[in-house]
Copies of this chain bind each other. A is one copy, B any other.
Amino acid sequence: MIEPGKPLSEIGERGLLEYLRARIPRGEGVTIGVGDDTAMVETGARTLVTTDSLVEGVHFLREWTPAKLLGRKALSINLSDIAAMAGVPSFATISLCLPRLLPFAFVDELYDGLLERAAEVGVSLVGGNLSSAEGPVVIDVTLLGRGGEHVLRRDGALPGDLAVVTGTLGAAAAGTRLLRQGARLTAEGALEATGVWTQSSAEAVRHCLKAHLDPSPPLAFARALGEQSVAHAAIDVSDGLSGDLLTMCQASGVAAWLDIASVPVDPRMAGLERARGGDSLALALHGGEDYQLLMAVAPSQFENLKDLAVVWNLPLSVVGEFSEGPPGLSVRGESGLTPLEPGAFDHFKPPQRRSGSRA
């Protein structure tokens, strides 16, 4: 039993590694688990590989986020990438940069979240790396997956395809604002007692915080997409609908127009924004971190896609259409098409602002 407040420097790298290794169960398909020079896992012929990280001060603040939810999210942002290929996630490695004076409880709770989320989605943790660093906490996850029969790339959109998005958009971006205003979730996802909401808005506040801190990419639906030929292309909506739609256009060499009235603005987020005079459409269009799927779907395939979505109880919205032309976005209104500038977060460009702060 290690004291929760004990700094990592007093536990040491070997001690911490031993503790963490003992926590990680041996998963299915894992021939050699954590603890050797490498892991060995059983794979098929088509292996998906992706890597994404959470960096303190950029993607999260420790004061804003229970470490357990950070662990869940570090995995979820990678799960979203596997989902966007219509794949099935399988094995993950975790690489951590941790300040030497960080309390043990942070790492322990981070692993609570990593292990809980991994168990939920059938992923095995198979390796990791610990480094001390006098800087921000960095949580780097690499995730493997199995490609299905129909792997969905982002460059397959064709003119005439429908632009279809899952779920609702904008709640995560509103969650960022709410964190800035002092709203907080507990490690179990409940709203903390002190905060900036009224009783009637509490559930919407919790919903938006959860969308930001503990996203749920549509994994089961994505897996089903890999088994049927129902879409031409897919990408995860992580940089905002406008940014990711433009990315798909650029990869596919097509243009796209959006029907603003069809954008699935998250209703609970919209309620909160209405009350404060905010712009819920802007959050839904340009806010990041929704971790939904954007797909290019032939009109003839759309009924089949809808059937799949019904099975997985997932809302689908046709938000626009792809067309011939140079890559670019426009909005279709009564007076025709008007160009739309995407608004996506850029890591290196100052001033450093999260997407959600654009509203």
Contact B43 A45, beta carbon cutoff 8 Å: yes
Contact A85 B51, beta carbon cutoff 8 Å: no
Give 5 closest A-B pairs by Cβ, nearest first: A135-B135, A37-B84, A38-B50, A142-B142, A13-B347
Q: How many copies of this chain sit in the oligomeric assembly? A: 2
- A277 an interface residue at 8 Å Cβ cutoff? no
- A129 CB → nearest B CB, Å: 5
Neighbouring B residues of A49 by C-beta, 8 Å: 38-41, 91, 93, 126-127, 142, 144
Contact A47 B37, beta carbon cutoff 8 Å: no
Contact B38 A87, beta carbon cutoff 8 Å: yes
Q: Specify the chain B residue showing the minimal Cβ separation from A46.
A: B40
Contact A12 B138, beta carbon cutoff 8 Å: no
Given contacts A97-B55, A135-B133, A135-B136, A12 and B349 within 8 Å (CB-CB): yes
Contact A132 B348, beta carbon cutoff 8 Å: yes
- A134 an interface residue at 8 Å Cβ cutoff? yes
Neighbouring B residues of A59 by C-beta, 8 Å: 131
Neighbouring B residues of A138 by C-beta, 8 Å: 97, 131, 133, 138, 140
* Residues 91-111 (chain A) with a chain B CB within 8 angstroms: 91, 93-95, 97-98, 100
Q: 0/1 per residue, A43-66, Cβ < 8 Å to B? A: 111111111110111110000000
Q: Which of A38, A91, A134 has the most CB of B within 10 A?
A: A38
Contact B37 A50, beta carbon cutoff 8 Å: yes
Q: List 21 A-B contacts (CB under 8 A).
A: A8-B348, A13-B347, A13-B348, A37-B236, A38-B81, A38-B84, A40-B47, A41-B47, A43-B47, A47-B144, A49-B127, A51-B140, A53-B97, A53-B129, A57-B133, A57-B135, A95-B142, A98-B348, A131-B347, A132-B348, A133-B138
- A346 an interface residue at 8 Å Cβ cutoff? yes
Q: State in angstroms the CA–CA spacing of A26 and B138 once bound together.
A: 29
Neighbouring B residues of A331 by C-beta, 8 Å: none
Q: State in angstroms the CA–CA spacing of A84 and B85 once bound together.
A: 32
Q: Among B41, B51, B155, B347, which residue has its beta carbon within 8 angstroms of that of A132?
A: B347
